[in-house]
Copies of this chain bind each other. A is one copy, B any other.
Amino acid sequence: MNGITPLFTDLYELTMASVYYAHGLVQPATFSLFIRKKSPPPRNYYVAAGLEEALHFLAGLRFNTQDLAYLKTTELFSADFLDYLAGFRFSGDVVAMTEGTIFFPDEPLLEVTAPLIEAQIVETFLINTIGFQTMVATKAARCVQAAQGRTLVDFGLRRTHGQDAGLKAARCSYLVGYAASSNVLAGKMWQIPVAGTMAHSLVQAFADEQQSFAAFAETYPDNSIFLIDTYDTLAGARKAVQVAKQMKTEGHSLLGVRLDSGDIATLGREVRSIFNATGLEGVKIFASGGFDEFKIERIVADQAPIDAFGIGTKVGVSADDPYLDIVYKMVRYDGRDVRKVSPGKKALAGQKQVFRQSDASDQYVADTIGCRREQVETATTLLNSVMQRGQILAHSPPLAELRRQFQRNFNNLPQRYKTLIPLNGPVAYPVRISDELAALQQHIAQA
């Protein structure tokens, strides 16, 4: 993930930078990255993700000669400014929430403090990578919650928005507790367990369905999950039973079967009966096809005997809420706290910290958004120093550790904030503004 060109940006970041350069606006600025509330709220909580790539981007930011040659062709930049860009490095400080942290709208999940030009031109990338990963981690976490311990596997790669999204969706769904991904490249990149079943094409390539199962089992005697809905699901289940029995005589076991169409709850029960009637209680039933947290919740509520879900499209694109209202706003420049007042687009001025209070059993009670240097007794601070003077302070924990980080956060979020549809939830998690931060806003408004 190194070496992403700084041309991955909106043109105005560079033209503004050139204005700052020409006018000597080179003092430190602080920008705050946060999610705005939507109304009605589509989510009860969010899961921070994407920091690792963001920090690598900042640390590796260089304009190479091709980049500079291209910028020259636009005739928008002076030779002086292009020379400046040739030596450009990101030299700022970053505070951020660890990936896997549960957070809420208006809370900054990252703040950059750097000379204005540096802080400005990284806006587009930071919003892009942290926004998308946070969105998908959040959506996937809701599926984990709905599944109540059943196994989830990411099948989203073919329907995510391009290649990068497919990789990140695999990473983020593993981060929040999926068991595996079908995405082979993500498996290689992050040591995510890879898993899969078979497609209808395999069944069709053989002249006979049962023959296709037998062939698959021959190659994968201990790793077979048969897809049984190509022609008739119950007939397919009975053929799978025949092959499973044969496997048993050879000392192997059929792992499972997959249902990909029809009424999954009803078919699941019927297929379960067919297997149980022949002593194949150990064969798992996988379901796929349009699953998201809502459809999982219905299957679980219905007590359908589905052991695992293949989760694809709707989570990979966060179909019910496919973008966050995530913004990166200047909150301080040259020692002066600032805010804009456009309708519906306010930001909290000043360098901030998020304080989280928990009860004696570690359950989260409330958050307070305060000034960076405030002290709030008994509270945990969520924004940690992760980069100083352009240097990453510590290597990002491995994905397995981030997974535990999320699990701890999730366990500590009280159950009443975990309703899937926020409108049905009793109360929103309390997020307050500290007196000191409120006073600062007031002070600026009157200035």
Contact = CB atoms under 8 A, between A and B. Distances in A.
Interface of A: 4-5, 7-16, 18-20, 22-23, 25, 29, 31, 66-67, 70-71, 74, 76, 116, 120, 123-124, 127-129, 131-132, 155, 157-168, 182-185, 187-188, 194-206, 215-216, 218-220, 223, 229-231, 260-262, 313-314, 317-319, 322-324, 326, 329-330, 333, 338-345
Contact of A201 (B4, B31, B161): B31
A16 B322 contact: no
A161 B161 contact: yes
Contact of A10 (B18, B196, B322, B339): B196
A223 B344 CA distance: 29
B230 A323 contact: no
A338 B11 contact: no
B161 A204 contact: no
Contacts of A13: 199
A212 to B, nearest CB: 9
22 contacts: A7-B188, A8-B185, A9-B157, A10-B158, A11-B183, A12-B199, A19-B220, A23-B219, A66-B188, A70-B187, A74-B187, A76-B220, A120-B199, A120-B201, A128-B159, A160-B161, A161-B322, A205-B333, A230-B341, A231-B340, A231-B341, A231-B342
Which residue among A203, A220, A322 has the maximum number of chain B CB atoms within 10 Å of its CB? A322
Given A8-B185, A29-B205, A124-B157, 4 more contacts: A22-B218, A70-B188, A161-B317, A261-B342
A23 B322 contact: no
Nearest to A225: B12
A225 to B, nearest CB: 9
Nearest to A126: B158
A149 to B, nearest CB: 23
A204 B393 CA distance: 30
A106 B52 CA distance: 42
B342 A199 contact: no
Which residue among A70, A183, A204, A333 has the maximum number of chain B CB atoms within 10 Å of its CB? A204
B323 A159 contact: yes
A333 B204 contact: yes
Contacts of A18: 219
Nearest to A75: B223
Nearest to A116: B205
Contacts of A330: 200-201, 204-205
Minimum-distance CB pairs A-B, first 7: A12-B196, A162-B164, A161-B161, A11-B196, A161-B165, A201-B330, A164-B164
A219 B22 contact: yes
A351 to B, nearest CB: 15
Which residue among A76, A120, A161, A322 has the maximum number of chain B CB atoms within 10 Å of its CB? A161
Given A19-B215, A200-B329, A157 B340 contact: no
Which residue among A18, A128, A162, A196 has the maximum number of chain B CB atoms within 10 Å of its CB? A162
